[in-house]
Amino acid sequence: MKYPRPQVPHSTAHNAPFVKKVTVHIRCREALQNRHNLLSALMALQVITGRRAQMLRAKSDAAPWKLRKGMPIAAKVELEGDDMYEFLDKLFEVVLPRMKEYTGMRMSDGDGNGSFTLGFDSSVIGLFPEMEMAYDMFPLVTGFSVSISTTATRNPAGRLLLSGLGVPFLHARKPQTNELAL
């Protein structure tokens, strides 16, 4: 017995997916030894996003890492509106092309509901135009992640939206066979 496929509504200007918010997050492991190490992450987020960062505290204890409930552990900034699009434009048009090892997002990336997360190591934060002049002022620089939340209901619609914003995607390639070796 065949089940009917759900009807997918045609995209119009009223129901087309859009970017809801962007969350930039830095988890600072070094803050466990000294809480002042988190100041570097807070200031770096403020420089690259233009918004004041929010400090996040641990929700529970983790004895192996000497983490106690309430200890400052991370920083985040949630961007919406014009600030969000300005940050995404800077990320996609300036930072990603400067990265030597970045080739694009895999087609399988995403959470299944149209939202995507990009993770970057500590060297990438220095590629932002605002950080070029102030990079030496930060004693501790860590990696960060960018979560892009969209109103898309599935990953293909979210990929289409992000590709329109300038995110490169890797297409699955078939393995090439060497015909001369046969």
The arithmetic mean of pLDDT across residues 11-25, rounded, is 87
* Whether the Cβ atoms of residue 79 and residue 112 lie closer than 8 Å to each other: no
What is the tens place of the pLDDT at every residue in 107-162?
Answer: 778 888 888 988 888 888 888 888 888 777 877 888 899 999 999 888 888 888 88
pTM over 0.85: no
CB-based contact 18:150 (threshold 8 Å)? yes
Higher per-residue pLDDT: 56 or 81: 81
Look at residue 104 and tell me whether its pLDDT is greater than 70: yes
DSSP lists the bridge partners of residue 2 as none
AA identity, residue 11: S
Give the range with max mean pLDDT: 67-71, 122-126, 178-182.
122-126
For the chain, strand residue ranges (E) read: 19-27, 54-57, 72-79, 105-106, 116-120, 144-150, 169-170
Residue 15's Cβ-count burial label (10 Å; 0-12, 13-18, 19+) is: exposed
Instruction: Give mean pLDDT, residues 86-97.
Output: 91
Pairing mode of beta strands 72-79, 54-57: antiparallel
What is the pLDDT, as a whole number, of residue 4? 65
Give the DSSP per-residue string, 42-81.
HHHHHHHHSS--EEEE-SS-BGGGTB-TT-EEEEEEEE-T
